Amino acid sequence: MVFKKGELFCGPGGLSLGAKNAQICNPETGNKLKEWRIKHKWANDFDPDSCATFRHNICGNPDDPSVHCGPVENLPIGDKSILGDIDCFSFGFPCNDYSQVGEKHGLYGKFGPLYSYGVKVLENYQPKFFVAENVGGLQNANEGQAFIQILLELQDCGYTLTPHLYKFEEYGIPQARHRIIIVGIRNDLTRQGIKFRVPAPTLTDPANYRTSYEAIMNPPIPPEAFNNEMPKHTDKVKEMLSYIPPGENAWYPCIPEHLRLKVKGAKLSSIYKRLDPSRPAYTVTGSGGGGTHMYHWEEMRALTNRERARLQTFPDDFVFTGSRESVRKQIGMAVPPQGAQIVFEAILKSFANISYDSIEPSFDTNRLKQKQK
């Protein structure tokens, strides 16, 4: 079965690349089941650079009309003559108001209510399944009520939900990135026996986690790789970095007084923080100014965008469009494609009735109504 996928808030295409690469095998022969796959149908994002990146890499056509660039409010959701019908749907709805960093307005912020457009897609298209993604902080937004409300609205569209907090380093992603992913299977299909289960982590021992060193250095990034321009720093920044050991940040006590930051308030752990090459990277982000760009464990510099893309598991031939800052933002806001692929492959196995190792989800949807009361 080929599932035609629509997507909102597509960004540069992390979720879609994971869906595109998802494949399953016959458990008896080991042969790939090519008939079980996911195919891009349409996508939307408001950022022109992200849309250009998506068209180039996911569609293979810089002018592909299936990528609709503009505010989601203007997308003709429900008009199948424009968007076409879909079998599945994905949306990484904006996390700005749910993130642990920021003002944390939740449902009452500028971006918090945008999940409702995903609900609108489900109501109008009733796809066989959907995948929704957001930051771990969603669970606590508005004292936990935001997460419950979102789950209830998705459930009321006619879906059996499996929400789980995925710790991507446990799945071979070289980054401590923790994200809530909600998988929904349409209720009539659930009644037919199709049930999604959270795929079990592939790495249970932290000693076996994939490290930032492995991701960036094995194999070395070719000099001619796209989006690999070296960042420039002042002599003062480079001197300060020389006093910061791997894994430490700008508040390391051995930094000389004249090089210390004159910053009041919380000592954010990611400010001028250098990677520890023996561990997965800390979370790649798309926001922030100087001092938040992730720093090499050995060289006196921030990472290149291609190095950041490797931590996010984008392949080297995935070309990001736009300025250096735009590319940095696109990479940081994306879903790691290899992490998404694991989830989509578990969904395909669920539909193909192929068993796989699984764990219990981190949130019990049977408690939704009770929690709401």
User: Hey, what are 156's tokens?
Assistant: 């009321």
Instruction: Check whether the bond before 65 is cis (ω within 30° of 0).
Output: no
Q: Quick check: is 95 catalytic?
A: yes
Cα–Cα nearest to 89, from 53, 60, 118:
118
What is the model's pLDDT at position 93?
A: 79
Residues of the chain with pLDDT under 70: 94-112, 140-144, 265-268, 369-373
Q: Considering the domain 2-204+336-372, what is its CATH architecture?
A: 3-Layer(aba) Sandwich (3.40)
What is the model's pLDDT at position 266?
A: 61
Other residues' Cβ atoms within 10 Å of the Cβ of residue 224: 6
32 DSSP β-pair partners: 25
User: Hey, what are 9's tokens?
Assistant: 């808030």
H/E segment holding residue 166: strand 159-167
What is the model's pLDDT at position 106?
A: 46
Rg of the chain over CA atoms, in angstroms?
21
Tokens 């790939």 belong to 32
Active-site residue, selected from the candidate residues 10, 51, 95, 157? 95
Residue 99, C-beta contacts closer than 8 angstroms, at least 6 positions apart:
135, 137
Give this prediction's pTM: 0.93
Cα–Cα nearest to 283, from 238, 232, 324, 334:
334
Cα–Cα nearest to 273, from 304, 294, 287:
294
Other residues' Cβ atoms within 10 Å of the Cβ of residue 217: 13
Q: Are 175 and 326 in contact (CB under 8 A)?
A: no
Q: Collapsing DSSP states into helix, strand and coil, what is residue 162?
A: strand
User: Hey, what are 267's tokens?
Assistant: 């000592």
